[in-house]
Structure 1
Amino acid sequence: MLSELIQESLKQSVHTIALTLGVPAIAEVNVALEQPASADHGDYSSNIAMQLARPLRKAPLAIAGLIVAELEASGSVQGLVLRTEVAGPGFINMYLDWEAWARAKGNFTLPKGAEGLKVIVEHTSVNPNKSLHIGHLRNSCIGDALVRVLRATGHTVEVHNYVDDLGNQLADTVAGLLNVPLEGAHVRFGDYCWDIYAEINKTYAQQPEMVQKRTEILHALEEGHGNTAWIGNLVAGQIVKEHVEEMRGFGIDYDLLVWESSILKEGFWSSAFELLSQTEIFVQETEGKLAGCWILKQPADDTAPDTQEEHQKDKVLVRSNGILTYTAKDIAYHLWKFGLLEKDFSYSEFQSGLWTTGLSGQALPFGRADQVVNVIDYRQEYPQLMVKQALKALGFGVQADALHHVSYGVVSLSPASAAGLGIDTSSGKSSYAMSGRQGVGIKVTELVRLMEDMIESTRSDKNGLSSRLIATAAIRYYLLRFNLGTEIVFDFKQAMEISGNTGVYLMYAYARAQRVLSKAAAAGGGGESGGSENGVGESGVGEFGVGESGVGGVPLFPAQLEAAELALLRQLSLWQDTLYTASRELTPNTICNYAYSLASLFSNFYSACPILKGGEASITFRLWLTRSFTDTLGEALDVLGLPKPERM
């Protein structure tokens, strides 16, 4: 990366200066770099001289002068820095030679470290009891974007979708199917179960004694045989199939479906129980409200986020009635993820390219991760901490540190969107939460259909991307662009706007740039003489603007860059840094922010700098800049899972 190269050059200069001054070697120097908002203050700036004032016993301005002199003596960062200036009270401002950067950028690589590392990313993991809603979709979009980011930075990634086929939600749906009569027009089984799930919860409220049915069904599901267990298997299997199909429409795929029932049937929890029993924190309570429960005993000074049953100070793993909590099975699952259990699943193909755990099948090299990333909303923070605590208690501290919880805020509906779905908005609230138990929310299939219809009815040119593809891309981007901790208030109209920070805007920018390149290719004739309509000179511009005087595919740069050209170049140079930051911090919205800024700067460049008009040198350079833009934005769109349209 460019920033890493500059940082290393600054570190080496500091080391040389320290030796020259006879100062003991300075330990690790943290060289902070920033790109000033104004190009007048440099393309990169560092305050390292101010950090060194005390150890080097000199004024920051003097230290900055020494560093600048050393940088220049050592080759000005391999010739990439055109000039360096010192500004009060000790900033070092570096101005890049952008033509040199353009020739060298193909040699920049991401920092070492990802090669050979295997990361398991678990996402979606929706209860298999009804159709998906938009809140579930945010999880899937975040997870899939992280998969793409990690793969783009050299990681080996294995994608899991955990199927909780032993949970309360599936038990409720089965209870509803067995006890609640329901009629109506339903196209998919998951949609029918959506209504059944809401109806059984109404029944619980009216007939509290019916809740016992859930407990009975849970026991039957865990035992894994008999009529009820088979019904549960059939329900979960059909709904997971529908979930997978829906996600494929958004370009989201998985490598492995991990069924919670497999964890029990394969004896994973038994092995985990045996390991935990050898620790001091896993105990069975003999008195009080938790009598008979197996719990993870918390340190005396530990405080839980709340006092609900699932988040008590002493975390329950096995209830007094013998039913395991979600966290117990999750601990066993994570011991397997890291290859810490002497057990493995058998694997069979669920669909082409998608494998599933089970009691029969073949041995495959799943699991054994170096890092694990779990995409789960913020309400699961405490159970995730319990998994970490269990790993540490068992002596697996390295693995506990390699377990990352990507937390995110839930999705609600804007008043306008809620009203459009027929939800009562007379309360005047600023947003309307979704509730599967109440049957309130928008199914993913309904959302896509509504967005597709809105786009189809408003677009004039229907020869580009299909309205459905535009709809799924717009939804996906909308769910990705917010900071992870933000609770999203989804609004249909905002998601499909063609201006502002939207997926549609990014795709339009990409298509516009491609259209310019196509015109240039047609006018230039692949290097032959072209027409003058777009301002292409008689000698043509070669393939997308590589002029004869260019070196290594890079044309000669103008002696003085236009402000819009420089701004676009500066943003292009940040791509690798942005990608690396997103992979390290696990923040896909970082890519969204970058891509939106890049598209906006290209729009400014497109307006301010006629690309296909002017002298040959100008056309050649600006076409090269346009091609660089499409290459970079194209990579960002790939990472975000959005199409790269030739036309919209």
Structure 2
Amino acid sequence: MIHRIIVSAAEDVVSQLLAEAGHRRPDGLRLLPQHPSNPGHGDYSLNTAMLLASLLKRNPLSIAREIKDRLLTRPVIQNLFRKLEAAPPGFINFYVDWEKWAAAPLPADSTSADRRRKVVIEHTSINPNKSAHIGHLRNSCIGDTLARMLKKAGFRVEIHNYIDDLGNQLADTVVGLLHTPSQDRHRRFGDFCWDTYSGINKAYQDDPELQEKRARVLHAMEEGGSSLAWIGSLTAERIVREHLEEMKTFSIGYDVLVWESSIVREGLWSEAFKRLQATPSFVQETEGKLAGCWVLKSSGEPMEETAAEFQSDKVLVRSNGILTYTAKDIAYHLWKFGLLGKDFVYIPFTGGIWSTGAHGMKKRFGHADIVINVIDHRQEYPQAMVKQALLALGFEEQAHQLRHVSYGVVSLSRNTASRLGVDTSDRRTSYPMSGRQGIGVKAADLLDRMEAIVASKRSRRTGLSSRTIAAAAVRYYLLRFHLQTEVIFDFEQATEISGNTGIYLMYAYARACSVLAKDGEEVRSPGSFRSDRLEPQEVLLMRQLAYWPEAWDTALQELAPNQICAYAHELASLFNHFYATCPIHKADAPEKTFRLWLTGRFRETLGEALSLLGLPAPGSM
């Protein structure tokens, strides 16, 4: 990895300089090679000299020249770069020797992770009370891509989908099924429940007694065994099966389903409750509005609250004995880390996925070294309370290894909201989806719409099906945004097939396959070429290819799939420019050999990126 070579050599040189000047290394000094936007300024650049200028009390350009001269004495630098230069006001620019880079062996997969370390990643975790919408799908696409990235890095990865089958949302749907009429036809049960859920929430306003029925359903589901509990269980299971089929369409899979009812039934919460009671942080309030509630007391500085209902002391058990979601989540995380001494039993569910069950066999799930939860930013406070519980119980290492991958929610553009019947007279730029009001875009509806657009614009029907292409396009659309960005979903934008889209990437890959298929043989060597005779488009494409190991590594360290999207789009764009300006099969023999090799390197690199993103790598479109 080129940037690691630069950093390693520069670290040694900087340490020498500081030691000779009698200085300790400043805290926070980081050597971060950058990619100059102007190729004339090199392929990599360091601003280290400017960071050291005030400490060494020297002109930064003078420091840059000294660092450059010392770097040039190192064989590892000599073997990779044709030139280094010091540039005002204090940059060190590195120029790759592309002949040496092309002749070097392909970089091996990054497997720096300790293969014994196990990561449990939880994603999707949709309430099993209605069909999935595009906000849920964003969660699943992010989580599945992170799992792919972690597997490539060498971790043992286990994927969980948590099913909240004891929550208010499922109880609402059950009340709606039992007490509200519906004559409409629906394609799927989940779509029927989508309307039922919004219908019952409207009915609550006219008939407050229905809310008392919800309380009875909640108690019945938690106790289990009654007809109400069975209705809730059967409703949840049917919808979960529909969710799994839907996610499979987007190449998203799981290892195990953990049902919230199992946490209660198997005594995980009872064990967690017993342990929390032994700490001073967990108390039952005796007065005030929380009288009778068991609460987890916060320690240290008060947290910045993310929603009005969150309190600095989090209620885990309400005064009526009903557990909050966070209580069961704490027990679940103690189990994830293998800290409870209790376990579930498992049954096969569907498609190789296991599920916790009332009866079944033992399997070794959980026992994680690292836990990653993909949950939107609104759940920051509950996630923090899970970490607080781990700390209260003395599990500091596990608390440190609990990661919350937060992301912005999906809302609707003004045009899309208006199509769905939302009042947009206030002319805001975005409108939130609301399951209670039945406002949102179902993932299946978006896929159907995208499939129709893809089919209408295809001139040929070979290769991938229109539905597969559509699913990949939707997946890429939801991945390419920065995690913290609120995705303002717009039908027109989401169904584009040119520009920064998954379809654009797949077409570029298929084009490379077509180029190589015409030659009939794999070109393993770039042949003989001179860097100074390369076309600008060839150099830019090689530069981007060289950046892949560090781009992928940075995305992994930051758990940021969108960075792979950005890299892949730039790579595909550069390849298409190269293809348009540099003839391949009509070129002279040395040039043809080199360009075929470069096309092969492009195909291999983009193929890796597509695989991580969960998109197909088609030989033709």
Q: Please state which band the TM-score falls in when normalised by the shorter chain.
A: over 0.9
Residues 1:641 and 2:614 are matched in the alignment: yes
Per-residue displacement from partner, 1:413-468 (whole Å, max 9, x unpaired)? Answer: 23443455566656644333321111122222211111111222232222232111
What is the rounded CA distance, in whole Å, between the counterparts of 1:70 and 1:225 in structure 2?
Answer: 76
Give the drift of 1:64. 2.6
Percentage of pairs with the same residue: 56
* 1:520 and 1:544 in contact (8 A); partners too: no
> One-letter code of the match for 1:318?
V
1:405 counterpart residue number: 404
* 2:121 and 2:147 in contact (8 A); partners too: yes
Moved more, 65-74 or 146-155: 65-74
Residues 1:337 and 2:310 are matched in the alignment: no
* 1:545 and 1:621 in contact (8 A); partners too: no
What is the rounded CA distance, in whole Å, between the counterparts of 2:415 and 2:519 in structure 1?
Answer: 44
What is the rounded CA distance, in whole Å, between the counterparts of 1:365 and 1:306 in structure 2?
Answer: 36
> One-letter code of the match for 2:575?
F
Moved more, 569-578 or 178-187: 178-187
Q: Superposition pairs for residues 286-365 of structure 1, below 5 Å?
A: 286-299=286-299, 301-305=301-305, 308-309=308-309, 311-365=310-364
What is the rounded CA distance, in whole Å, between the counterparts of 1:453 and 1:596 in structure 2?
Answer: 24
1:274 counterpart residue number: 274
CA RMSD, Structure 1 to Structure 2 (Å): 2.1
* Pair 1:111–1:55, CA change in 2 (3 A): farther
* 2:111 and 2:154 in contact (8 A); partners too: no
Give the drift of 1:13. 2.8
Give the drift of 1:353. 1.5
* Pair 1:306–1:595, CA change in 2 (3 A): closer
* 1:17 and 1:66 in contact (8 A); partners too: no
2:460 counterpart residue number: 461
* 1:306 and 1:312 in contact (8 A); partners too: no
Q: 2:561 aligns with which of 583, 588, 593?
A: 588
Give the drift of 1:138. 0.8
What is the rounded CA distance, in whole Å, between the counterparts of 2:430 and 2:63 in structure 1?
Answer: 55
> One-letter code of the match for 1:407?
S
What is the rounded CA distance, in whole Å, between the counterparts of 2:571 and 2:185 in structure 1?
Answer: 47
* 1:194 and 1:436 in contact (8 A); partners too: yes
2:551 counterpart residue number: 578
* Pair 1:300–1:8, CA change in 2 (3 A): closer
3-state SS, counterpart of residue 257 of structure 2 = strand
Q: TM-score, normalised by structure 1?
A: 0.91
* 2:11 and 2:31 in contact (8 A); partners too: yes
Residues 1:616 and 2:615 are matched in the alignment: no
What is the rounded CA distance, in whole Å, between the counterparts of 1:476 and 1:358 in structure 2?
Answer: 31
* Pair 1:422–1:613, CA change in 2 (3 A): farther
* Pair 1:519–1:558, CA change in 2 (3 A): farther
Moved more, 105-114 or 622-631: 105-114
Q: TM-score, normalised by structure 2?
A: 0.95
1:432 counterpart residue number: 431
Give the drift of 1:262. 0.5
1:386 counterpart residue number: 385
* Pair 1:349–1:363, CA change in 2 (3 A): same
Residues 1:124 and 2:124 are matched in the alignment: yes
1:529 counterpart residue number: none
* Pair 1:427–1:464, CA change in 2 (3 A): farther
* Pair 1:313–1:646, CA change in 2 (3 A): same
3-state SS, counterpart of residue 104 of structure 2 = helix
Residues 1:65 and 2:62 are matched in the alignment: no
Give the drift of 1:22. 6.9
What is the rounded CA distance, in whole Å, between the counterparts of 2:418 and 2:453 in structure 1?
Answer: 16
* 2:306 and 2:380 in contact (8 A); partners too: no
What is the rounded CA distance, in whole Å, between the counterparts of 1:307 and 1:44 in structure 2?
Answer: 44
3-state SS, counterpart of residue 354 of structure 2 = strand
What is the rounded CA distance, in whole Å, between the counterparts of 2:249 and 2:6 in structure 1?
Answer: 43
* Pair 1:503–1:293, CA change in 2 (3 A): same
2:90 counterpart residue number: 90
Give the drift of 1:612. 2.1
Give the drift of 1:81. 1.1
Moved more, 122-131 or 75-84: 75-84
Q: Which runs of 5+ in 2 are unaligned?
A: none
Q: Which runs of 5+ in 1 are unaligned?
A: 527-542
Per-residue displacement from partner, 1:560-596 (whole Å, max 9, x unpaired)? Answer: 2221111111111111111111111111111111111
Q: Superposition pairs for residues 31-180 of structure 1, below 5 Å?
A: 31-53=31-53, 56=56, 58-77=58-77, 79-107=79-107, 110=110, 112-180=112-180
* 1:451 and 1:492 in contact (8 A); partners too: no
What is the rounded CA distance, in whole Å, between the counterparts of 2:360 and 2:65 in structure 1?
Answer: 68
* Pair 1:108–1:13, CA change in 2 (3 A): farther
What is the rounded CA distance, in whole Å, between the counterparts of 2:49 and 2:328 in structure 1?
Answer: 53
> One-letter code of the match for 2:140?
S
What is the rounded CA distance, in whole Å, between the counterparts of 1:445 and 1:138 in structure 2?
Answer: 13
What is the rounded CA distance, in whole Å, between the counterparts of 2:155 and 2:251 in structure 1?
Answer: 20
Per-residue displacement from partner, 1:244-294 (whole Å, max 9, x unpaired)? Answer: 010000000000100000001111111111111111111111111111111
Per-residue displacement from partner, 1:305-337 (whole Å, max 9, x unpaired)? Answer: 25633x122211100100000000000000111
Number of matched pairs = 620
> One-letter code of the match for 2:350?
Q
2:540 counterpart residue number: 567
What is the rounded CA distance, in whole Å, between the counterparts of 1:80 and 1:108 in structure 2?
Answer: 17
> One-letter code of the match for 2:89?
P
Residues 1:181 and 2:181 are matched in the alignment: yes
